[in-house]
Amino acid sequence: MTTPLVLIVDDNPENLTVIGELLQPGHGVRVANSGPRALALARVDPQPDLILLDVMMPGMDGYEVLAQLRAHEATARIPVIFLTALDDAADEERGLMLGAVDYITKPARPAILLARVRSQLELKHARDLLHDRNAVLEAEVARRMGENQRIQDISIHALARLAEIRDPETGHHILRTQAYVRALARRLQSHPRFAEVLDDRTIAHLAKSAPLHDIGKVGIPDHVLLKPGKLDAQEWALMKDHARFGAEAIEQAERDVAYPVPFLEFAKQIARHHHERWDGQGYPDGLAGEAIPVAARLMAIADVFDALISRRVYKPAFPQDQAYQMIVSERGRQFDPDVVDAFIEEFPTLCAIAAHYADSEEGVSAKLAAVGGNR
């Protein structure tokens, strides 16, 4: 342990000299003859390991000095021993209540003063070690949590890409829809209908789970999934099964983990219900209105908007203004009216997202050609 540094605070020069000489053989010593000077010296590096503080000083007394020390993060952890001629129990209690670690009445006997200083310095050293170890542990926990978060995000995107590999959707669809969902959720965060649901944590979970919305398409046969023309009734029935397949796969993942993973609940809702309609004419469960989970209502608009403005094997890309009109025309029918209003307000942001994550024309053409060739 390095030589401990003690700050002695007393308006009496004689007391400063006597106590300083007593401590100097084994301690570094600073002295201050007033409260303001003590506060200034307490912040100077290296900071004192212990402060011996007189109570009765003109101007700023010891109680006020201690209060200000405790009020500032830089000095809050420095232990303080009061030195005072006051020997009333109420004075001692007041000092301890303010956060002093000990209370010594003057004139202090040298052996007693040294013993108490030594005890408090040993305690300070132990607290510092514990604090440093805790800081190291917290940093390691944060590092591992960050690493687990990155692994989780990579795994989610890898699973989402599995569906995209088999589906002729463009490469950045999952990134765009994820960003659309986040933007819409933030717009609705202060809306009376959604304020209690869309807190920051929930929005983070929604954004994390959005890429899994079409994971169930891995279970759809190629002749249906990659068909460039209109699906017949039987094919359409098979295609609609992707919502159920996705939800069931996520539900199985929930059963396989030893502890709850909150975002998987949202992922399950999105996968199963993002094709439900506000008017109850959607699939797979024909839910209507508020019965449709909020996560799925947000995903519904995000998914349809991106599908409209993107080129697919079965259709060209629509201009963004035309897609806007098509979404707005379904307000209160296919989509939650308030979510459509959020779409209207966030439309410039959604267009910026689409531009930021735009697919190259060459990449889109190559993928569509590959799909055709595979057929």
Q: Own/partner pairs for 60-65, CB < 8 Å, 24+ apart? A: 60/34, 60/35, 60/36, 61/35, 62/9, 62/35, 62/95, 63/94, 63/95, 63/98, 64/35, 65/9, 65/35, 65/38, 65/39
CATH topology classification for 5-137:
Rossmann fold (3.40.50)
pLDDT band at residue 285 under the 50/70/90 scheme: very high
Residue 370 is predicted with a pLDDT of: 46
What does the pLDDT read at residue 219?
86
The type of residue at 295 is: A
d(CA 24, CA 30): 10
The rounded distance, in Å, linking the Cα atoms of 215 and 366 is 23
pLDDT given at position 312: 75
- Give per-residue pLDDT as tens, 86-144: 666 676 777 778 888 888 888 888 898 899 899 999 998 888 888 888 888 888 777 77
Q: 78 — phi, psi (to 5°)? A: -75, 120
Max CA distance (Å), the chain: 102
Question: What pLDDT shows up at residue 368?
Answer: 46
> Does residue 371 have a pLDDT over 60?
no
Ranges for all domains in the chain classified under CATH 3.40.50.2300 = 5-137
Q: What percent of the chain has pLDDT over 90?
A: 50
- Interval 262-290 mean pLDDT: 94
**Which regions of the chain does DSSP assign to beta strands (E)?**
5-9, 28-32, 50-54, 80-84, 102-105
Helix 110-166 vs helix 200-209: crossing angle, to nearest 10: 40
- For residue 151, pLDDT over 80 is answered with no
Asked which of 13-17, 24-28, 164-168, 200-204 is least confident by mean pLDDT, the reply is 164-168
Q: For residues 323 and 304, what is the distance between their CA atoms, to the nearest angstrom?
A: 9
H or E element that contains 144:
helix 110-166
DSSP state of 318: P
Domain with CATH 1.10.3210.10 in the chain: 167-374
From the list 209, 189, 187, 191, the residue with the least C-alpha distance to 199 is 189
- The winner for highest mean pLDDT among 149-163, 277-291, 306-320 is 277-291
Place of tokens 């060459």: 362
User: Is the pLDDT assigned to residue 153 strictly greater than 70?
Assistant: no
Q: Say if CB 301 and CB 343 are below 8 A apart.
A: yes
Lowest average pLDDT, out of 11-15, 271-275, 333-337, goes to: 11-15
CATH 1.10.1740.10 fits 167-374, yes or no: no
